[in-house]
Chain A
Amino acid sequence: MKFGVIVFPGSNCDRDCFYVIKDILKKPVEYIWHQNAEIDDFDCLILPGGFSYGDYLRTGAIARFSPVMKAVFDFAGRGGLVIGICNGFQILLEAGLLPGAMVRNRDIHFICKYVYIKTENSATRFTARCGKSQILRIPIAHNEGNYYIDEKGFAELKRNNQIVFRYCGRKGEVEDRYNPNGAIDSIAGIINRGGNVLGMMPHPERSSEMALGSSDGVLIFKSIIECLEQKKDT
């Protein structure tokens, strides 16, 4: 089992992700520079948070054309697990690996704080370790997290259970006042139809040990590991 953390110029959560996989979960992990058009055999690719290419033009718009993204497309096409966190999610949207797009937060502030999110689908390969409707306390840190998708796309997301996380209150209340950025239907994370590409705005790598105030985020990485271990056994 091997994780790869893709490093774009301007990524700044790459080391946090690397640390969680290597030091907390004790699994092999390597950095992958964005210029690498070909990559080794990995089992899960992480697109970390940050400000790839300075967020110029639109968040993720330029990173999406990095040489490594072709390898990411191929890997995802073969069913490989890909998780995009924050800027990584924005890149996956720009790349079309996930549907929809991000616009500025509705109050035009950069928001950096702990939020609660509700696990709307705990049957994915990224959330199998979360209980049904489990509420996770995970921080967000973004300027463009206001998820948008047209009505048709939204209906499709709902129909296929692709909405994985929604912002909520402490007790799981999904209400507008707990929606930090104006995202449609309080969406915090979605998955592709194939179930192997997840994008989420909250940062599980910043909440994977209690020293940081919450270890809820580690459930996501543990779910991935469990999935990969089961795959190996079969």
Chain B
Amino acid sequence: MLKAEIYVKLKDTIADPQGLTVKHALDSLGFKGVDGVRIGRLITIALNLKDRKKAKKDISEMCRKLLSNPIIEEYKFSIKER
């Protein structure tokens, strides 16, 4: 059986206030090497499918319809054995 790991994040052109706040926190902890922070989410979906092609098609559709908002977000995913 397969599982999908989906990363959804704000597009680079959209300000990410959460990432900016975390960057400030890291700065104040003394980490000098932080240039920028962006925060997204990881969604894992356990599939009852064996066919990778079908899995890819379904997950793409899920991403477009519900899991991401194409106006502000982009996604990528990988499909693995579980």
Contact = CB atoms under 8 A, between A and B. Distances in A.
Interface of A: 57-58, 61-62, 65, 94, 100-101, 103-108, 146, 148-150, 182
B69 to A, nearest CB: 5
Contacts, number: 36
B17 A105 contact: yes
Nearest to A148: B72
B15 A106 contact: yes
B66 A108 contact: no
A27 to B, nearest CB: 35
Contact of A108 (B14, B21, B69, B71): B21
Contact of A107 (B17, B66, B67): B17
A57 B67 contact: yes
A103 B66 contact: no
B66 to A, nearest CB: 7
A182 B69 contact: no
B17 A108 contact: yes
11 contacts: A57-B67, A61-B69, A101-B69, A101-B72, A103-B10, A103-B14, A103-B72, A104-B18, A108-B21, A149-B71, A150-B71
Contact of A94 (B10, B67, B69): B69
Given A100-B71, A103-B10, A148-B71, A65 B17 contact: no
Interface string B8-49: 001000111110010000000000000000000000000000
Contacts of B15: 103, 106, 182
Contacts of A150: 71
A182 B71 contact: no
A213 B58 CA distance: 51
A218 to B, nearest CB: 33
Contacts of B14: 103, 148
Contact of A146 (B17, B21, B66, B69): B17
Contacts of B18: 104, 108
Contacts of A104: 16-18
